[in-house]
Amino acid sequence: MPEEYALFENYPNPFNPNTIIKFGVPKESDVSLKVYNILGEEVINLVNEKMKAGYYEVEFNATSHSGNVRNLTSGIYFYQLKAGSFIQTKKMVLLK
């Protein structure tokens, strides 16, 4: 079990079109994991739920998610984890 909240580097990075985002939650928490474009606009909310302690991984697909088609352009994107009082943001690069 994680001893503290953690947001890890996505892999692969740069990516096209899929990447994996991993994070750790040390205790049951409301968790939000969102992806933003370079302008700070929300692209997608990947996680928005109460999660038990543990390590998790979420796949981000730049072309679709849950049947919704997106046409994201190459560039820099940010992913942000909020859980409890923890907030961390990391950068990823989409190369087409």
CATH of domain 6-94: 2.60.40.2550
For residue 56, give Cα distances in angstroms to 19, 24, 26.
14, 6, 11
Distance CA 20, CA 66 (A): 16
The structural domains of the chain, with segments of one domain joined by +, span 6-94
Per-residue pLDDT band for 6 (boundaries 50, 70, 90) equals very high
Distance CA 64, CA 6 (A): 26
Per-residue pLDDT band for 90 (boundaries 50, 70, 90) equals very high
Chain segment 20-78, per-residue pLDDT in tens: 999 999 999 999 999 999 999 999 999 999 999 999 999 999 987 665 657 789 999 99
CA dihedral sign of residues 89, 81, 4, 19:
negative
For residue 7, give Cα distances in angstroms to 12, 16, 61.
15, 21, 18
| Nearest residue to 23 (alpha-carbon basis) of 45, 44, 2 | 2
